[in-house]
């Protein structure tokens, strides 16, 4: 190789390197401008598979709060992580778990209260949103204290408040790989996971037909009314069906709402024509107890019916395994730390309810298999679950709130 060839080669390499650096800079700026990079991604570009979640609780601050209904009974809270780092994506439909330190309404002593709240918005890279309904004392027992966590959020959580939050979790979420049209059914505050799913579908520009059946008492309790109506006007593939069970005097049918009554199977049959849809259901117990079996009776493939209960009040009892209800052999449950050995009551809903009924103090939060709070070591014996659990259970442990004993059991409680 001559000196001239060598010099030419070196010059060529140098020029190629300069060109590569310039191209890299160009594409980086371009992706920044178009939001393709890290924190600047737009919602539609967020991969819906969960990113690296965090372990345990992470500190968040409330950046904004906003009432979402005329009655001011539902309030949204916008949360940003205190560490300022990006948030992992979540699957629309998932929830966050909160640990609050609250005074006991009776004794005044501080204690940890754990509650779950669904994410109520499509994934965003920099914040989460939850929407919480204030829970009053049951009408027939007004002497009871109102809901601890929901009232704390409504009364005390303001912009700047700090909260301890577990990473998004839950098996009830949109299955994106499915090509079937989607039916979202939300009753009352059970609308929150549907808002996240709906937002995600429309922001992604998916062409699938999507139906939202939203059951609520009347216009005063309806969440994000104008927002939902605007989405329905702007997206031809989105069909909004709002059902008022007890319309107020000023609620106008076909203006404020589409149907007088509850969301039921005849309404779904008339509106959808075909049962070949993916159904997502979340609502109060009577709704779940009629709709979920009703869909199956209509002939919907059970694999296409996805549902979530927001707590023990909405658990579907027929999930309970028949073996537990008709146990032939009496079962003994030993709570080793409390030193109690008790005959299992087959009428008890769960080991948690059974423990509490016998004066054994155990930690609990959601009481629905979601938060993991009631996880307890099983020293001997086996349990079975009365419903699908969301919390990950460590080997050798069980979730007391959703488990019943299969045979004689020893628990470290």
Ligand X SMILES: Cc1cc2nc3c(=O)[nH]c(=O)nc-3n(C[C@H](O)[C@H](O)[C@H](O)COP(=O)(O)OP(=O)(O)OC[C@H]3O[C@@H](n4cnc5c(N)ncnc54)[C@H](O)[C@@H]3O)c2cc1C
Give the binding site for ligand FES (CB under 6 A). 364-367, 369-374, 391, 399, 401
**Residue 132 binding result from ligand X, ligand FES, none, given CB thresholds of 5 to 8 Å by partner type:** ligand X
Nearest approach, Cβ of residue 388 and ligand X (Å): 12
Nearest approach, Cβ of residue 154 and ligand X (Å): 9
Nearer to ligand FES, 46 or 114 (CB): 114
Nearer to ligand FES, 115 or 306 (CB): 115
H or E stretch including 238? strand 238-244
* 137 touching ligand X, by CB under 6 A: yes
Task: Tell which residue, 20, 21, 19, 45, has the closest CA to residue 32.
Answer: 45
* 402 touching ligand X, by CB under 6 A: no
Give SS3 for 228.
helix
Whether the Cβ atoms of residue 194 and residue 173 lie closer than 8 Å to each other: no
Nearest approach, Cβ of residue 398 and ligand FES (Å): 10
Nearest approach, Cβ of residue 151 and ligand FES (Å): 20
* 224 touching ligand X, by CB under 6 A: no
Interacting residue with ligand X among 75, 165, 182, 189 (CB under 6 A):
189
Q: What letters, b where the CB count within 10 A reaches 16 and e where it falls short, cover 55-75?
A: eeebebebeebeebbeeebbb
Nearest approach, Cβ of residue 323 and ligand X (Å): 25
**Residue 118 binding result from ligand X, ligand FES, none, given CB thresholds of 5 to 8 Å by partner type:** ligand X
Per DSSP, the residues of 45-95 read GS-SS---PPSSEEEEEEEEEEE-STTS-EEEEEEEETT-PPPPP--TT-E
Q: Which stretch binds ligand X (CB under 6 A): 4-12, 130-138, 194-202, 272-280?
A: 130-138
Give SS3 for 140.
coil
Which x/- pattern, by CB under 6 A, does the window 146-185 give for ligand X?
Answer: xxxxxx----------------------------------
Nearer to ligand FES, 184 or 371 (CB): 371
Nearest approach, Cβ of residue 375 and ligand X (Å): 15
Cα separation, 268 vs 274, whole angstroms: 9
**Residue 144 binding result from ligand FES, ligand X, none, given CB thresholds of 5 to 8 Å by partner type:** ligand X
Q: How many CB atoms lie within 10 A of CB 385?
A: 18
Nearer to ligand X, 197 or 268 (CB): 197
Count CA atoms within 13 Å of residue 105 on its CB side: 11
The alpha carbon dihedral of 108, 114, 119, 123 has a sign of positive
Count CA atoms within 13 Å of residue 162 on its CB side: 7
**Residue 51 binding result from ligand X, ligand FES, none, given CB thresholds of 5 to 8 Å by partner type:** none
Nearest approach, Cβ of residue 312 and ligand FES (Å): 9
Cα separation, 163 vs 215, whole angstroms: 31
Axis-axis angle for helices 285-298, 265-272 (nearest 10): 50
Residue 173: phi, psi to the nearest 5? -155, 165
Nearer to ligand FES, 187 or 369 (CB): 369
Residue 196 sits at the vertex; the CA angle it makes with 393 and 230, to the nearest 5 degrees, is 170
Whether the Cβ atoms of residue 258 and residue 212 lie closer than 8 Å to each other: no
**Residue 315 binding result from ligand X, ligand FES, none, given CB thresholds of 5 to 8 Å by partner type:** none
Q: Which stretch binds ligand X (CB under 6 A): 254-262, 285-293, 362-370, 399-407?
A: 362-370
Tokens for 114, please give them: 């754990």
* 62 touching ligand X, by CB under 6 A: no
Interacting residue with ligand X among 60, 77, 78, 117 (CB under 6 A):
117
Nearer to ligand FES, 391 or 411 (CB): 391
Cα separation, 218 vs 253, whole angstroms: 11
**Residue 129 binding result from ligand X, ligand FES, none, given CB thresholds of 5 to 8 Å by partner type:** none
Interacting residue with ligand X among 95, 128, 211, 238 (CB under 6 A):
95
Query: Which residue reads 């967020």 in tokens?
Result: 46
Which residues of this protein are in contact with ligand X, per CB under 6 A?
Answer: 95, 115-118, 130-133, 135, 137-138, 144-151, 189, 192, 310-311, 366, 368, 370
């Amino acid at each position: 190789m001559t000196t001239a060839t060598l010099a030419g080669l070196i010059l060529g390499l140098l020029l190629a390197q300069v060109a590569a650096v310039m191209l890299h800079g160009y594409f980086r700026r371009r992706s920044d401008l178009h939001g393709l990079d890290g924190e600047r991604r737009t919602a539609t570009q967020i991969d819906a598979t969960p990113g690296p979640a965090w372990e345990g609780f992470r500190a968040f601050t409330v950046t904004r709060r906003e009432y979402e209904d005329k009655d001011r009974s539902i309030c949204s809270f916008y949360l940003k992580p205190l560490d300022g780092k990006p948030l992992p994506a979540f699957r629309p439909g998932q929830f966050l778990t909160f640990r609050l330190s609250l005074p006991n309404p009776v004794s005044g002593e501080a204690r940890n209260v754990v509650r779950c709240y669904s994410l109520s918005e499509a994934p965003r890279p920099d914040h989460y949103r939850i929407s919480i309904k204030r829970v009053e004392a049951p009408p027939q027992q007004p002497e009871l204290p109102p809901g601890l966590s929901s009232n704390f959020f409504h009364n005390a959580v303001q912009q700047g408040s700090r909260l301890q939050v577990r990473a998004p979790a839950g098996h009830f979420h949109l299955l994106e790989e499915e090509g079937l049209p989607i039916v979202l059914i939300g009753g009352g505050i059970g609308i929150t996971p549907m808002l996240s799913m709906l937002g995600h579908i429309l922001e992604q520009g998916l062409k699938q037909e999507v139906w939202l059946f939203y059951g609520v008492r009347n216009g005063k309790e309806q969440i994000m009314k104008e927002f939902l109506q605007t989405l329905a006007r702007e997206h031809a593939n989105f069909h909004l069906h709002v059902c008022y069970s007890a319309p107020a005097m000023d609620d106008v049918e076909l203006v404020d709402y589409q149907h007088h009554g509850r969301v039921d199977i005849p309404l779904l049959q008339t509106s959808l024509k075909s049962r070949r849809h993916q159904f997502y259901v979340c609502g109060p117990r009577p709704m779940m107890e009629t709709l979920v079996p009703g869909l199956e009776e209509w002939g919907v493939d059970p694999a296409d019916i996805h549902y979530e209960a927001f707590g023990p009040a909405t658990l579907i009892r027929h999930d309970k395994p028949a073996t537990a209800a008709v146990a032939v052999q009496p079962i003994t449950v030993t709570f080793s730390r409390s030193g109690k050995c008790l005959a299992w009551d087959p009428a008890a809903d769960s080991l948690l309810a059974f423990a509490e009924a016998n004066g054994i103090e155990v930690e609990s939060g959601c009481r629905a298999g979601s938060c993991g709070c009631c996880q307890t070591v099983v020293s001997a014996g086996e349990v079975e679950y009365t419903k699908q659990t969301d919390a990950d259970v460590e080997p050798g442990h069980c979730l007391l709130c959703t488990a019943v004993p299969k045979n004689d059991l020893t628990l470290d409680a």
